[in-house]
Chains A and B, each alone.
Chain A
Amino acid sequence: MGSTEKIKIESLTYAYPFSDKNALENISFSIMPGECVGIIGRNGAGKSTLCLALTGLVPKFFKGRYSGKVLLDGEDVRQISYEKLVTKIGLVLQNPFSQITGARITVYEEVAFGLENLGIPRDEIKQRVEAVLKALDLWEKRDENPFELSGGQLQKLAIASVLVLQPEVLVLDEPTSQLDSGGTKEVFEIISQMKSQGITIVLVEHKYEMLVEYVDKIIFLQEGKMIAFDEAEKIFSLPEIDEYMVGEPIYTKLCKKLNLKNSRGYYPVKFSEAVGILREARCGSDR
């Protein structure tokens, strides 16, 4: 029995208060330290609820029917003191605007807010806030009002406010869905930076072309149930995937129509691989 999993979920079933429909049904999986895992599925599939469950906000903040277990480093999230939990696992939400507490007047103070609450010594706060703002390229904006930032910068600020707590796991729920392509790229750059620092990442994302370049595995949810948990190319090569109508990376779709697979027998999901395979196919057809 390996007990080194960072996150382990055991037959988690959950329904929101006043709802007889299960938002999550019998979910089980585990994630190893440093892994980057994507979550895909249609709106309403339970992706956000799963994020809330991972961070313990379900059932702490959202009550309701809850059975099964979410284990973080082998400990049930319901047993971990919330104070300890926020430094272990961080959550970034979809809407950058409503994540800003509004309690503070500047970008700098907004980031420092969580550390102040935790009673971290002042000098350490200054050091950590500075480091995070510089890493996320927000240092120049430190004296600005958060609400004056662009959407992309606001989302980076939300990520900074969570990263400053130095969590071991970062959960991001559609962090780019409200952003334009520039903002999306910036957020993904941060994600890749976090990944290289060994932070375990769980990422809900509809922009598959970006997602597949970063994730080790993908969780595929449909109506609260986990349909699959596997590598991206295996997920998008599932014979029944079309029936779920979740879509696929654009070049995977192309390769599917042309029936072009990679050496492992799956449709390519990454850009460079797809280009290689298409090039080969073209040479073949030219001859």
Chain B
Amino acid sequence: MRVLGLYVERDTPVHKLAPFTKLMYAVTSTVVTFLFPSITVGILFLVLSVFLNTIARVLKHLIALLMVVSVLSISIFLIQGMFYVGNYTPLFSLLRLTFYKEGLLRAVVLVLRLFNMISAFGILMLTTRPSDLIDDLVRRGLSPNVGYVIASVLQIVPQMLSTATRIIDAQRSRGLEMNGSFHKRFKAFLALIGPLVLGSLLEARERALALEIRWFEARTKRTFLKDFSESKR
């Protein structure tokens, strides 16, 4: 079953940690590296996060995430190295562009911060089902209404993705080429997005009926079954 997000199913101690604990770790390590912009602190937390990701056996997935942001990192090195306001000590020259020590050090801190944030939140995202996180948050006092909205989006978007796959199959079956010139691809995009939007609208109407039938607009005071998942166990 598809669940929206990056969750990787594994049986490890990190997976079994309470979602809220992992969220707290991610927030803490991000905040600390912001408050103490030193390279040592950055490396310390990065090593810790990578270690946790390794225990959780999701290191491969984390590296994939870090690859995505490394493009951003390169531009940080270029921009900070050349144009940082505190630049004073020229370090080297490349293709007649001068890089400064201050800017490069600054870039190292920034990139560490970024990698650190990705790794720390990576533990959370890669080892926690989104629904479990919401469940845990609602139990700890997040407004159930906000919880509903997030949960329903998380529930319905994966369904839309599988609908999209079926639509692509249906249109390819009618001879639609998905590759080729921009014009061709734009045509293919229309053939996908049309049924997806129309279908979603129709479905949204029925889902609205379903909410109506169960009196979602109630003006009465709602009951929240907030702690039932604890008592059930």
Hey, which chain A residues are within 8 Å of B208, CB to CB? 61
Determine if A119 and B218 form an interchain contact, defined as CB atoms under 8 angstroms apart.
Answer: yes
Which residues does chain A contribute within 8 Å of B131, judged by CB atoms?
Answer: 105, 145
Question: When the two chains form their complex, are residues A82 and B214 in contact, meaning their CB atoms are under 8 A apart?
Answer: no
Binds A, one of B21-29, B88-96, B150-158: B150-158
Q: How many whole Å from B223's CB to the nearest CB in chain A?
A: 5
Measured CB to CB, the closest approach of chain A to B117, in angstroms, equals 27
Q: Which of A66-74, A96-104, A248-256 contacts B (4 or more CB under 8 A)?
A: A96-104
Does B182 have its Cβ within 8 Å of any Cβ on chain A?
no
Chain A residues 106 to 149 lying within 8 A of chain B, measured CB to CB, are 108-109, 112-122, 125-126, 145-148
B216 touches A147 (CB 8 A): no
A120 to B148: give the CA distance in the assembly, Å: 19
Write the chain A residue with the least CB distance to B219.
A83
Complex partner residue of A83 from B158, B211, B220, B232, CB under 8 angstroms: B220
Which residues, 194 to 223 on B, are CB-close (under 8 Å) to A? 203, 206-223
Chain B residues with Cβ below 8 Å from A61 are 208-209, 212
Count A-side interface residues using an 8 Å CB cutoff.
42
* Chain A residues within 8 Å of B, Cβ to Cβ: 55, 57, 61, 82-83, 86, 90-91, 93, 95, 97-105, 108-109, 112-122, 125-126, 145-148, 158, 161-162, 165
For this complex, 30 residue pairs linking A to B, each with C-beta atoms less than 8 Å apart, are: A57-B213, A61-B209, A82-B215, A83-B219, A86-B213, A86-B214, A95-B203, A98-B203, A98-B206, A98-B210, A101-B152, A101-B214, A102-B151, A103-B151, A105-B134, A108-B228, A109-B225, A112-B228, A115-B223, A116-B224, A117-B214, A118-B220, A119-B222, A120-B223, A122-B225, A125-B223, A126-B225, A145-B1, A147-B155, A158-B210
New A-B pairs, 11, CB < 8 Å, besides A99-B206, A99-B209, A147-B155: A83-B219, A93-B210, A101-B211, A102-B155, A108-B228, A112-B228, A118-B220, A126-B228, A145-B155, A158-B210, A162-B214
